[in-house]
Amino acid sequence: MSFWCSSKGKSGYTAPQTNIESFENPDYIRNHFRSSGFKKIEIVPFSNSIEVKSIQEFLNMMIEGSAPIQLMKSKLEEPVWKEKEKIMFDHLSEQLALLPISLSSEAYITIAKKS
């Protein structure tokens, strides 16, 4: 969100895409660990979801819980921060038009043994 907020309106900006050559891909994770000398590699998916009932409450939670957003906020003058906050609020309002909505994410926890 902090990158998106900083890039909004700049020419050449594209929305984030899934990168199969990243830790979003279990096969990539497995190959990366294997090439680093790990054995008995176990990749466990972890899912989490939250229910969003209010855009403002969700945005406040994101701002408070995100180190990159907190850093951006601390570095900006108040009027500039308010502009960025409005950009984030407007974006979330467009993307989460039908409230309440459940949002989920998935991550992978890797357990491995190094010989």
pLDDT tens, position by position, 15-33: 767 777 888 899 999 999 9
- 95 and 59 in a single domain? The answer is yes
pLDDT band at 1 (very low <50, low <70, confident <90, very high): low
Spatial contact of 66 and 1, defined as CB atoms under 8 Å apart: yes
Determine the 3-state secondary structure of 5 from DSSP: helix
| Per-residue pLDDT, 81 | 96
Q: Tell me, what amino acid is at 113?
A: K
pTM more than 0.85: no
One domain for residues 28 and 43: yes
Kindly state whether residues 63 and 44 are assigned to the same domain. Answer: no
Q: Based on the structure, what is the number of domains in the chain?
A: 2
Residue 61 tokens read as: 């939670």
Handedness of CA 51, 84, 7, 28 (dihedral sign): negative
Range of the domain at 67: 54-99
Q: Is residue 76 part of a domain?
A: yes
Residue with the larger pLDDT of the pair 99 and 115: 99
Quick check: is 26 in a domain? Answer: yes
Q: Is 94 left (phi over 0), alpha (psi -120 to 50) or beta?
A: alpha
Q: Tell me the chain's radius of gyration from C-alpha atoms.
A: 18
